């Protein structure tokens, strides 16, 4: 799959277009885009930005063993009549 020309795509849709190709452009471009009255196509060129300084990894949640019930069948009710 080829990456489309986003500038042409925005023009075809009749909406403004902006491109972020450097880290210092992100703030001004996004501020302008979010203050627009309508949609804006913002392209972020990740190739031009280069590799991320720290890779994104989602937080890992480990359940607390003391509070987590052990999976399995429910205990049977007691039938003693003492």
Q: What is the pLDDT of residue 41?
A: 98
45 in a structural domain? yes
Q: What is the pLDDT of residue 39?
A: 97
Q: What is the pLDDT of residue 57?
A: 78
CB 28 within 8 A of CB 18: no
- Domain hosting residue 17, numbered range: 6-49
For the chain, the farthest-separated pair of C-alpha atoms sits apart, in whole angstroms, at 84
Number of domains in the chain: 1
d(CA 30, CA 13): 20
Question: Does residue 65 lie in a domain region?
Answer: no
In a domain, 14, yes or no: yes
In this prediction, the residues of the chain whose per-residue pLDDT falls under 70 are 63-70, 75, 80-82
């Amino acid at each position: 799959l080829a990456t489309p020309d986003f500038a042409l795509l925005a023009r075809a849709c009749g909406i403004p277009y902006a491109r972020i190709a450097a880290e210092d452009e992100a703030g001004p471009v996004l501020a302008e885009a979010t203050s627009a009255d309508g949609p804006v196509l913002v392209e972020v060129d990740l190739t031009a930005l280069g590799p991320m300084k720290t890779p994104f990894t989602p937080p890992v949640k480990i359940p607390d063993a003391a509070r987590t019930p052990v999976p399995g069948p429910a205990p049977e009710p007691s039938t003693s009549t003492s």
